Amino acid sequence: MTQSPAFRIAHIDTGQSLRGGQRQMLMLARELRDRGHEQIIVSIEGSRVEERAQKEGFRVFALPQSDPGHAFGILLWRQQLRGWRPHILHAHDGRGQTLAWLASVGLPIRRVASRRVTFLPSDRWSYPLKYNRTCQAVIAVSENIRDLSVQAGVPRERITVIPDGIEIPSELPSASERLNLRESWRCGEHDFLIGFLGASTPEKGLDVAVAAMNLLPEKIPNGRLILAGGEAAGELPVSENSRTRVLNLGPVENLGRLMPGLDLFVMPSRAEGLGSSALWAMAYGLPVIATRVGGLSEIIVENETGWLIPPDSPQALAEAILQASADHARLVEFGRRGRERAEEFSADIMVSRTEALYRRILGGNIEESN
């Protein structure tokens, strides 16, 4: 139960697809709804965010897609803000923060901006201006993101680190569930299955994962790379002369249809704000091989829950995969420790910290405006 009084929150995310950041926003909104808070989700018309939010029963305001610069949408949203009077405007991406400020400037609303990406704008002068003047608080999903923001000119005291949260499965899947899932992929009980979850964008390092698999067909002849999160499903050959295959599942909405069938999870990212996919894998009891970039080293405990390797190195990834495949007992132990580690990043912890931040920046204004 939420502490009384509750408050009204408008979330905005301008992404078209349903990636990690959008899933985090929806998870936060679901948990806050369970705690009694009233919310609206602002998205782009026709986006996956709009579709999913409506399906989950949220009130949704869609900014017209064919509106250059969203000028008309901002005016419509401002009218709504005047009538609904939310306490908090929480922007979950950079463009959303700009739109939130334009729609609410001059109104008695507190603004929060989440930062989960490692890149900074080319015009560095605008970054501190944007996050110093247009919001009352910045949420960084990792210490790495906070450090980058401070280097770019945002005062450290304005930034609160709240890592992404995940929903921990109450129990691990049974052996029969694992085997059934593998058989649906036309893989056997003794195949060594390595999972990758993410878009095919350069920073995710999918090309590194495939290149590493190309180095392993003779050393791990039963190795398979299982891809999820891309746009199209289908089986992709690694190379004409390789016995190792890559199976592309395409988008996977339910991670319970991916993680339980795997032996190992890899995240060879070139950049990563935190790395919630690694957390999900750990929650399912999987050891993880990840690159030492961004917030990944804040998640993975090297030689306890997985391995950390340099980025852009198929050779290093292949060597780590080979090492992992050679010791089943260590895989099981790393998986057990990883699941314990993942509990430190539960959705409940993330939501409680976010709720506490809202209350802190609102002070006594909640009672006055309810």
Mean pLDDT of 341-364: 94
pLDDT for 2 equals: 44
Give the whole-number percent of the chain exceeding pLDDT 70.
91
Q: Which CATH architecture has domain 8-165+346-369?
A: 3-Layer(aba) Sandwich (3.40)
- Angstrom CA distances, 240 to 14, 70, 215, 236, 243, stand at 41, 48, 13, 11, 8
Residue 89, H or E segment: strand 88-91
Least confident stretch, 18-27, 39-48, 238-247, 269-278: 238-247
Mean pLDDT of 45-60: 96
Q: How far apart are CA 213 and CA 101, in angstroms?
A: 46
Q: How far apart are CA 108 and CA 99, in angstroms?
A: 16
* pLDDT score of 195 more than 70: yes
Q: How confident is the model at residue 368 (pLDDT cuts 50, 70, 90)?
A: very low
Say if 8-165+346-369 and 175-345 have the same CATH topology: yes
Q: Which of 27-41, 233-247, 252-266 has the highest mean pLDDT?
A: 27-41
User: pLDDT, tens digit, for every residue of 71-89?
Assistant: 999 999 999 999 999 999 9
Q: How confident is the model at residue 124 (pLDDT cuts 50, 70, 90)?
A: low
Q: How far apart are CA 39 and CA 58, in angstroms?
A: 7
Mean pLDDT of 114-118: 89
- Is 217 or 365 the better-scoring residue by pLDDT? 217
* pLDDT score of 240 more than 90: no
pLDDT for 119 equals: 74
Kindly report the backbone phi and psi dihedral angles of residue 223, in degrees, each rounded to the nearest multiple of 5, phi listed first: -80, 140
Q: How far apart are CA 88 and CA 109, in angstroms?
A: 6
Mean pLDDT of 214-235: 82
Q: How confident is the model at residue 364 (pLDDT cuts 50, 70, 90)?
A: low
What ranges do the domains of the chain cover? 8-165+346-369, 175-345
Q: From the options 1.10.760.10, 3.40.50.2000, 3.30.720.200, 3.30.70.640, give the CATH code of 175-345.
A: 3.40.50.2000
Task: Give the chain's mean pLDDT.
Answer: 90
Mean pLDDT of 104-113: 96
Q: 9 pairs with which residues across the strands?
A: 39, 88
DSSP 314: H
CA geometry: angle 182, 186, 191, nearest 5 deg: 60
pLDDT for 262 equals: 97
Count CB neighbours of 313 within 10 A.
17
pLDDT for 173 equals: 85
User: pLDDT, tens digit, for every residue of 307-342?
Assistant: 999 999 999 999 999 999 999 999 999 999 999 999
Give the whole-number percent of the chain exceeding pLDDT 90.
76
Q: Is the dihedral of CA 107, 156, 279, 166 positive or negative?
A: negative
User: pLDDT, tens digit, for every residue of 248-292?
Assistant: 998 888 888 999 999 999 999 999 999 999 999 999 999 999 999
